[in-house]
Amino acid sequence: MSPCLTLNQVFKLAENIKIKMNAALAKLIAGLIPILILLVLLFSLEACRGNKSNSTSGGKTKVGWLARLFGKGKQNANSESVHYTSREVEKVIKTARSYRGTPHRDGGMNRMGIDCSALIMISFESAGLKIPRNSGLQSQIGKPIDKNSLRPGDLVFFSDRKVGKGITHVGLVTEVDKKGEIKFIHTSSRLGVTENLLSSDYFAKTYAKAVRPF
């Protein structure tokens, strides 16, 4: 057979290759169809389960395995996203306020003496919500919140270089009035557990960030 192909033979060879490629592509698409149908069914099932969960979980939103697989509901904390209810916020604030007047004591965790991060941890635990003991770690959970968007239940953090590096203090937002004035509860070295305005000079100067922990 001559190694040289005629123009007609070249066209026939190209046509055969095209037919084989189309057949392979069709086979590939046919194999993908069942997988696509399965994914659609799984997404539909997950959506139905999510709606049912929202209607019966008292306001807590649970993120399903399929949503987590595709990144939905991801947050900075190492736990599932849980949106607490107003009742839980009220419980957290009520518990924190029950400590008003308790002396400040570094490392303290009771009514004989308590520090800022312990007050926050204990207050949230009273509503069944667990957060870290350390204020630096507390500042890393949830999602960052702009100061103008703060609401009761959010955490505010401060950094005073005279005290130490990084986050040195934490407080819990208790009230936001119609004028946008923000009140928070925390432990004061002089007054113990007390409430102050975020706009006061010292706290305005040392304010570092705020987060919504849940």
Known catalytic residue: 104? Answer: no
Known catalytic residue: 48? Answer: no
Query: How many CB atoms lie under 10 A from the CB of residue 51?
Result: 10
Which residue out of 4, 83, 104, 116 is catalytically annotated?
116
**12: its two tokens:** 């026939």
Which residue out of 4, 83, 104, 169 is catalytically annotated?
169
**79: its two tokens:** 């736990």
User: How does DSSP assign 79-112, residue by residue?
Assistant: S------HHHHHHHHHHHHTTTTPPB-TT-EETT
Known catalytic residue: 169? Answer: yes
Helices 116-125, 86-97: inter-axial angle, 10-degree rounding? 140
Among left, alpha and beta (phi > 0; psi -120 to 50; other), residue 56 is alpha
**Which residue numbers are catalytic?**
116, 169, 186
